[in-house]
Amino acid sequence: MAKIHVLPVSLRNKIAAGEVVERPASVIKELMENSIDAGSTRIAVDTAHAGKRLIKVADNGAGMEKEDALLAFERYATSKIRDENDLFCIRTMGFRGEALSSIAAVSKMKLATAPAGEVAGPGESRQPAINDQRSAIGACIEIYGGEIKEIKDCSAAGTTIEVKDLFYNTPARRKFLKSDTTENYHIIDTVTREALSHYHIGFVLRMDGSDVLRLPAASSHRERLLQIYGKEFLDGLLESESRDARMNIKAFFSKTTNLRNNKNSQFLFVNNRPVKDQSVSYAVNKAYEGMVPGDKHPLFFLFLEIDPVKVDFNVHPTKREIRFEDKSTVFHCVHRTARSVLVPHDEARDVPPVPGTPVSAHGTGQAGTGAYQPFSGGLPQDPLQTVSETVAAFYEESTPFIYLGDTLVAIPGRDGITIMDYHAAHERINYERFLKGLEIPSCPLLFPQQVKMQGSEYRVVLDNHEMLNGFGMELEDFGHGTIIVRSLPEILRDADLQSLMSDAASALLRRDLTGEDPTGSGNPLEPLNSPKKALAARLACHSSIRGKEVPDGTRIAGLMKALDAADDPGHCPHGRPTRIVISMNELKKMFRK
């Protein structure tokens, strides 16, 4: 008896859905891209319960006749390509012809569509089909779990697709969906990316009946950025453009004084398709080399237009990744474009270092914003400064130390030497203070600050505003993607609010982290498996001593004392060691004594 058999069509479609449909945002992406290929000038997206209950995408593009509408639900049925040559010259967003069949296999879907006269191609303008009196008869089709339930004639212009009860017939897939907050984040991010790359199209996103994004058609990438992020955000970007026979590049790079702690605002589009490519991202980061600290990341929006023959979009199930024919040329073009606009505007280089005494081997110095200075061994020039430091030393405990570089100091003791990472130590102290709500007074801002956020991050912050208030961050919704910050924890009073709020949203979304060790080093990370822990860890990082600030002996003494009182003094919230103790016996062994 044969052991190998051909799977039924229904099961094949569910398997295909596992590759194409990861979450509600995946469905929205596929349906929007179909609308874009249909020449739409307006796309409206509605969701209920983070897309788990309802996803509705309506457009005014070229609809389908009844015959085509029925055929569209067959696997590998498409109007985008016809032969193998077309597969290596992709000019549309979709091309495989498997999205509709995959989505229909795991949901209750309703399609209403009808053609409407002549329709322009993708990117070309046309009047909305709703005003076109030549609309032909289309079809209204209902499909449950891949089975057609009803077919009716329909005269509605354009196309409207409703997807209800996603994964209703695959409960194993449904249970892996994240919270509504997380799924909503991905939905907003998906619509935002499509809106950025197709500025000539108007987009509307409504969630549970409330407008989240309402973007009229724009005349340029710059105008679309202004619509989404606001003028203040746009003023922090440098615009650049490069055109040659190989590719056209339109780019916006953040100034060297406008940085983030994460890579959430790094966008790459190739031929209007939102994608990820490590080599292109590395080219941009390489252009910033020497201008930004190692723990900071630039923002960029990179729009590449390249001959479709020279790029392969068919290398990933969801088309997120691509392959360039000549990766080296792309790398150098992007790097050159970024470098040309960044070097004349490197504001960080023009900031004079804050005067400070040199870093001494006894911990009496402080660092400015410039480069570290070696200890010269001389006395301070100002006699008043000498008196001040002497009096402070008399009343405050001070620990002698040797600054080693980065955030490492060596502290001698009777039984050996302690090497401490003062940033990691400060993180542990502040992390536990945030978690326990200890000794962190809230500091009202003299002038409340408005912070314009990405739509996805804005939604996350609003959904968790009570938790943020519990950490001393008093926030208020100002509407249209803007929040008002009225107070902050005292230790965060000097933080960059834009970066702080972006990081807070990112931390709340990554609360599913476990205590697994991704490096295989045998040191498991502390489980940040709750929103409160994840947020506390991120805020602790923001409020801790940074690499360009070298604490003096008094502060080192305070860190050592507070660290000893911590629940886990040996590790920062991310599992890295805060200090390493080398005993006198170990030192003697090293010197063979």
pLDDT in the model for residue 18: 64
Name 520's bridge partners.
Answer: none
Q: Answer yes or no: is 168 within a domain.
A: yes
Please check whether residue 474 lies inside any domain of the structure.
yes
The answer to whether the CB of 212 falls within 8 A of the CB of 481 is: no
In this structure, the answer to whether residues 453 and 327 fall within a common structural domain is no
The total number of structural domains in the chain stands at 3
- Residue-wise pLDDT for 267-280, tens only, equals 999 999 999 899 99
Query: 440-466 pLDDT, tens per residue?
Result: 677 888 778 888 888 788 888 888 888
Average pLDDT (183-197) is: 94
- In terms of domains, do 203 and 262 share one? no
Within-domain flag for 132? yes
Environment class of 350 (CB within 10 Å of its CB; exposed 0-12, middle 13-18, buried 19+): exposed
Decide which of 348, 364, 395 is a domain's last residue. 348
User: Could you tell me if residue 2 is inside a domain?
Assistant: no
Given a contact cutoff of 8 angstroms between Cβ atoms, the answer to whether 428 and 541 are in contact is no
Residue with tokens 């599913």: 512
Q: Domain range spanning residue 159? A: 9-209
The answer on 565 and 494 residing in a single domain is: yes
The CATH number of residue 273's host domain is: 3.30.230.10
What's the confidence (pLDDT) of residue 510?
Answer: 64
pLDDT digit string, tens, across residues 126-172: 444 444 444 467 899 999 998 999 999 887 788 999 999 999 998 88
For a pLDDT cut of 70, what percent of the chain falls above it? 81
- pTM of the predicted structure, to 2 decimals: 0.72
Q: Is the pLDDT of residue 252 over 50?
A: yes
Residue 356: inside a domain: no
CATH, residue 127: 3.30.565.10
Q: Which of 319, 348, 377 is the last residue of a domain?
A: 348
CA distance 356 to 354: 6
Examine the fold and report which residue of 348, 378, 408 is the final residue of a domain before the chain moves on.
348
Q: Tell me what the pLDDT averaged over the chain comes to.
A: 80
The reply to whether 493 falls in a domain is yes
One domain, residues 140 and 243:
no
Within a domain: residue 217? no
**Distance between CA 219 and CA 232 in Å, rounded?**
20
Q: What is the DSSP string of 181-241?
A: HHHHHHHHHHHHHHHHH-TTSEEEEEETTEEEEEE---SSHHHHHHHHH-HHHHHTEEEEE
Can you give the CATH number for the domain in which 574 is found? 3.30.1370.100
In a domain, 221, yes or no: no
Quickly state the pLDDT bin for 117 (edges 50, 70, 90).
low
